[in-house]
């Protein structure tokens, strides 16, 4: 399970498993805690990532060309766990884990000390089976909440999401943005009234100033596309993550 961070704003960093290589994923994940990350989100490559923009799509394509499977991702998670105690979350679409077998996948996650799962194309109205399985195997099932969500949907996800709620900063797909929408603060505050659970926001965050703005109202940030843009330049990636950590700690 994923617990709240009481001492600071959370920095959640996303890596596509197998991009640029399986070994590099393990190496980078082991460095993230030393650079100030709090949670590692591991993307399982998928051929039709509907919620993702071109950066993550490209990473998925490259990983799939290298035959990165859900089984390989589980092995990578186990290797990462031997190097870091940071919470590990799988970000995956429903089809790969359904094909793998939901009970088997959750059991394998528990065995490899993965802490939770994010499934962006799983509506909460259809999540009962996976909710039961994740609860059985001690995993947090995190739901996403969009700014266009109805009051009823907000209340449903506030009740069902485990560990934290993944707030989507904007409508559309993932990807680094030059600016974030003006309604962002109102959206976070509206959700805040419905739940005491941590609220972590992702989609589009790509600079320290954006991270600081989001963290003024949310409990943490999730950064993916910009990470993947820098993943082959370790020094630039380190500097970027350190700048995000500094921005969050400045609040």
Nearest 5°: phi and psi at 223?
A: -125, 125
Determine whether 233 is an active site residue.
no
The residues spanned by each domain of the chain are 10-249
15 near 80, Cβ under 8 Å? no
For every one of its 251 residues, what pLDDT tens digit does the chain have, with 9 covering 90 and above? Answer: 887 776 899 999 999 999 999 999 999 999 998 999 999 999 999 998 777 788 999 999 999 999 999 999 999 999 999 999 999 999 999 999 999 999 999 999 999 999 999 999 999 999 999 999 999 999 999 999 999 999 999 999 999 999 999 999 876 545 455 567 788 999 999 999 999 999 999 988 999 999 999 999 999 999 999 999 999 999 999 999 999 999 999 98
- Strand extents, DSSP E, the chain: 10-16, 39-43, 88-91, 116-118, 140-142, 144-145, 165-168, 199-202, 220-223
The pTM of the full predicted model, rounded to 2 decimals, is: 0.94
Tell me the fold of 10-249. TIM Barrel (3.20.20)
Instruction: Report how far residue 190's alpha carbon sits from residue 147's, in angstroms, rounded to the nearest whole number.
Output: 10
What's the confidence (pLDDT) of residue 171?
A: 65
Local structure of residue 125 (DSSP, 8 states): G
Determine whether 27 is an active site residue.
no
Set 27, 38, 41, 126: catalytic member: 41
Set 27, 48, 52, 62: catalytic member: 52
């Amino acid at each position: 399970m994923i617990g709240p961070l009481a001492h600071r704003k959370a920095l959640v960093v996303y890596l596509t498993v197998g991009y640029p290589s399986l070994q590099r994923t393990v190496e980078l994940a082991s460095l993230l805690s030393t650079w100030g990350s709090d949670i590692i989100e591991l993307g399982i490559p998928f051929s039709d990532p509907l919620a993702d923009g071109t950066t993550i799509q490209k990473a998925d394509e490259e990983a799939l060309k290298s035959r990165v499977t859900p089984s390989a991702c589980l092995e990578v998670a186990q290797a990462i766990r031997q190097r870091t105690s940071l919470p590990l979350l799988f970000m995956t679409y429903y089809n790969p884990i359904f094909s793998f077998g939901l009970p088997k996948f959750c059991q394998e996650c528990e065995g490899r000390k993965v802490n939770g799962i994010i499934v962006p194309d799983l509506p909460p109205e259809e999540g009962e089976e996976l909710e039961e399985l994740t609860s059985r195997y001690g995993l947090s099932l995190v739901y996403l909440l969009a700014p266009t969500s109805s009051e009823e949907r907000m209340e449903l996800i506030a009740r069902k999401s485990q560990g934290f709620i993944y707030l989507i900063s904007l409508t559309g797909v993932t990807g680094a943005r030059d600016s974030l929408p003006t309604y962002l603060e109102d959206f976070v505050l509206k959700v805040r009234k419905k739940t005491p659970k941590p609220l972590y926001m992702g989609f589009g965050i790509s600079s320290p100033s954006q991270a600081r703005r989001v963290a003024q109202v949310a409990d943490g940030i999730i950064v993916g596309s910009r990470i993947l843009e820098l993943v082959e330049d370790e020094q630039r990636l380190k500097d970027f993550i350190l700048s995000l950590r500094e921005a969050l700690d400045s609040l």
